[in-house]
A and B are shown apart, each in its own frame.
Chain A
């Protein structure tokens, strides 16, 4: 049974469908959340997420995008928890710009990492070297052994793919 059918059954009150959905999706959601949350917080957020799924399954429009829908809910729960937690504990990412919301920044970084994992090998490497490690084009060309022009076009492709992935999944 695919995810859309599961969610439809879930909306009808079938708790075994929730169980199956949980088994399929909780592991990767947990892994993604673990980047910004401690283990007990991950557990809390997962619990709230799937409870929300149970209550709101009727609002899901079947488009084969169950994973994205689940992540949206989980992300919202994670943001709620992070804001409640306050600035106190936990290593959030140092905000890129002063005055930026550290919670949004942390979650955006998770989104970006998730989107980046969908990039093909060469694009991902260029992305990592140029944008994560902040190296100039010339150095990247030398490290990867390809001409600077190729590096630039791979970088463009990576940016385009990421923009699409992030634009679709995070709003």
Chain B
């Protein structure tokens, strides 16, 4: 039997397909959408490469190793790893270096800048929490438990600024890790202590300054009028 002329089977199929193909966002995404007041931003956040489960699992493993390895009594190496890990995570949260559809993303109503900032903050927060948990679990002294948060902020800022300027996640990550290594070694040379870079209060101001400069650079580099070039 052929269908009646006045019944639109294509429309029926489209409605059916809409139900069958639809994706049902999980609770985390629905909560994020409410908090951020944007379902698009929530989806972009939860598809951040460095927030996906495999990456998070690797991060936990590395932090776990850091909690167990010790350079000396009461000195697990979490403080050494955290800034570097976070920097790499930040670099791989970002757009052009890592997003194949980046040119299209620039034409979206949810701005690239919002996505970048939201992702960067989320990656930073996740790494900070994981690092603190690892530090606390490893029984490090107080200065080593919290002292790396400030350098981590600075290194993440530098990484983000370089990644945005170079439009490359790899370049950003390399710059961030290199900057951290140089910082650690420079402080060790200056004071004779490897952990000086997180325990020496004289380093705090430079870190704050570096973070502030990086923030300004990122704001400038992601200004809307720059767009693609």
Contacts and interface: CB of A to CB of B under 8 A. Distances in A.
Determine direct contact between A and B, CB below 8 Å: yes
Interface of A: 15, 18-19, 22, 26-28, 30-32, 34, 39, 42-43, 46-47, 50-51, 54
Given A27-B2, A31-B1, A32-B1, A22 B7 contact: no
A108 B133 CA distance: 69
B8 A34 contact: no
Interface of B: 1-4, 6-9, 11-13, 15-17, 19-21
Contact of A27 (B1, B16, B20): B1
Contacts of B13: 19, 22, 26
A65 B202 CA distance: 82
Nearest to B2: A27
Nearest to A44: B12
Nearest to B18: A47
Contact of A34 (B7, B11, B16, B21): B7
B4 A54 contact: no
Contacts of B19: 51, 54
A34 B12 contact: no
Contacts, number: 58
Given A15-B21, A18-B20, A54-B20, A31 B4 contact: yes
Contacts of B16: 18, 22, 47, 50-51, 54
Nearest to B3: A27
B9 to A, nearest CB: 5
Nearest to A27: B3
Say what secondary structure dominates the interface of chain A: helix
A22 B14 CA distance: 11
Contacts of A43: 7-8, 11-12
B1 A42 contact: no
30 contacts: A15-B17, A15-B20, A18-B16, A19-B13, A19-B17, A22-B9, A22-B16, A26-B13, A27-B1, A27-B2, A28-B2, A28-B3, A30-B3, A30-B9, A31-B1, A31-B2, A31-B4, A39-B4, A39-B6, A42-B7, A43-B8, A43-B11, A46-B7, A46-B9, A47-B15, A47-B16, A50-B12, A51-B19, A51-B20, A54-B20
Contacts of A30: 3-4, 7, 9
Given A22-B13, A26-B9, A42 B4 contact: yes
Contacts of A19: 13, 17
Given A22-B9, A42-B7, 14 more contacts: A18-B16, A19-B13, A19-B17, A27-B9, A31-B2, A43-B8, A43-B11, A43-B12, A46-B7, A46-B12, A47-B12, A51-B20, A54-B16, A54-B20
A26 B15 CA distance: 14
B65 to A, nearest CB: 40
A46 B8 CA distance: 11
Nearest to B13: A22
Nearest to B20: A15
Nearest to B6: A39
A167 B6 CA distance: 31
A41 B159 CA distance: 60
Nearest to A48: B16
Nearest to A34: B4
- 8 nearest A-B residue pairs (beta carbon): A28-B1, A27-B3, A31-B1, A39-B6, A34-B4, A30-B3, A30-B7, A46-B12
A15 B17 CA distance: 8
Residue among A30, A31, A34, A50 having the largest count of chain B Cβ atoms under 10 Å: A30
B10 to A, nearest CB: 10
B7 to A, nearest CB: 5
A53 to B, nearest CB: 10
Contacts of B4: 30-31, 34, 39, 42
